[in-house]
């Protein structure tokens, strides 16, 4: 049987003027619109598709990849707000994902904001929806991690002890303040490492895979990068957030603050292409 809100391997049952109909088991046939059909597909083939509800609540298939499936967490952007209905989030598909007002909790949102949500299937309507009430949604069996396993991390808040984190889009954990020297913000993404899995599935994280010594600060990372590159780098406060995160594993705001500190300390200077080390006279 096809699972709503997840990827499925379904057989192409028949062709129509609108696309291919796939065998969805007890859900009947499910349309894969013509826009997603490739020349290699033919009747009888089994293909991998994501199943969700279209604007008329009919089940439909797509070969597109959403930012999260049912049973996962994601950091998504608010693209629209509707009075008495909720907020619509961009989750990578042509139809946006609804975050109902009842599921937004105490946070205030406007268009353009980012928000960490759990993606789940409403058992009363069979519709895929989002919830910012993360504590209500635990999707997986106890995590099977070993110390120092690398994991994908998204920061979604703070506690008195450290930063709250989403791990591999499936679990929630905590990165203690003592494990990082960087100031982190909601939506920051990076590769972290398992420190410990506690009873009940609670997960402690670290930034440094070895667990020894202080985590290298962002300013040290920038200076080390400059030294390795021969004294200059094509990065400055106008660089894209994506390129900064890929190179330095931090947000653009944190990068700009680090550059400002290094500039004030006369350790770097700006040039036409980026930044360079100030040579000692």
Q: What is the model's pLDDT at position 281? A: 53
Residue ranges, the chain, pLDDT below 50:
211-216
Where do the domains of the chain lie, and which CATH numbers do they carry? 7-62 (2.40.50.140), 72-136 (2.40.50.140), 150-206 (2.40.50.140), 218-277 (1.10.10.10)
Between strands 203-206 and 171-176, the pairing is parallel
Give the tens place of pLDDT for each residue, 191-222.
889 998 887 778 999 887 654 333 346 788 88
Q: What is the model's pLDDT at position 212? A: 39
Q: What is the model's pLDDT at position 175? A: 94
Q: What is the model's pLDDT at position 165? A: 92
Tokens of 210: 């070895």
176: which strand partners? Answer: 162
Q: What is the model's pLDDT at position 11? A: 95
Give the tens place of pLDDT for each residue, 148-182.
888 899 998 899 999 999 998 889 899 998 888 77
């Amino acid at each position: 049987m096809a699972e709503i809100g997840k990827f499925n391997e379904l057989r192409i049952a028949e062709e129509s003027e609108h696309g291919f109909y796939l065998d969805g088991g007890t859900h009947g046939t499910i349309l894969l619109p013509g826009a997603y059909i490739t020349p290699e597909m033919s009747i009888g083939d089994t293909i991998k598709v994501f199943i969700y509800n279209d604007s008329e609540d009919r089940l439909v298939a797509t070969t597109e990849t959403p930012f999260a499936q049912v049973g996962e967490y994601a950091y998504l952007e608010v693209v629209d707000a509707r009075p008495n209905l909720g907020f619509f989030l961009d989750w990578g598909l042509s139809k946006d994902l609804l975050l109902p007002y009842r599921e937004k909790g105490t946070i205030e949102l406007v268009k353009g904001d980012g928000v960490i949500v759990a993606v789940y299937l409403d058992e009363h309507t069979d519709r895929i929806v989002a919830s910012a009430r993360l504590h209500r949604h635990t999707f997986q069996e106890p995590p099977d991690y070993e110390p120092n396993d690398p994991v994908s991390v998204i920061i979604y808040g703070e506690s008195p002890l450290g930063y709250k984190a989403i791990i591999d889009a499936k679990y929630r954990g905590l990165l203690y303040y003592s494990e990082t020297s960087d100031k982190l913000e909601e939506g920051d993404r990076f590769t972290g490492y398992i420190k410990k899995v506690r009873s009940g599935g609670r997960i402690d994280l670290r930034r440094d895979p070895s667990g020894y010594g202080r985590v290298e600060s962002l300013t040290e990372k920038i200076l080390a990068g400059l030294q390795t590159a021969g004294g200059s780098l094509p990065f400055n406060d106008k660089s894209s957030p994506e390129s900064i995160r890929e190179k330095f594993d931090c947000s653009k705001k944190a990068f700009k603050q680090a550059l400002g500190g290094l500039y004030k300390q006369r350790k770097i200077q700006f040039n036409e292409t980026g930044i360079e080390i100030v040579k000692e006279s």
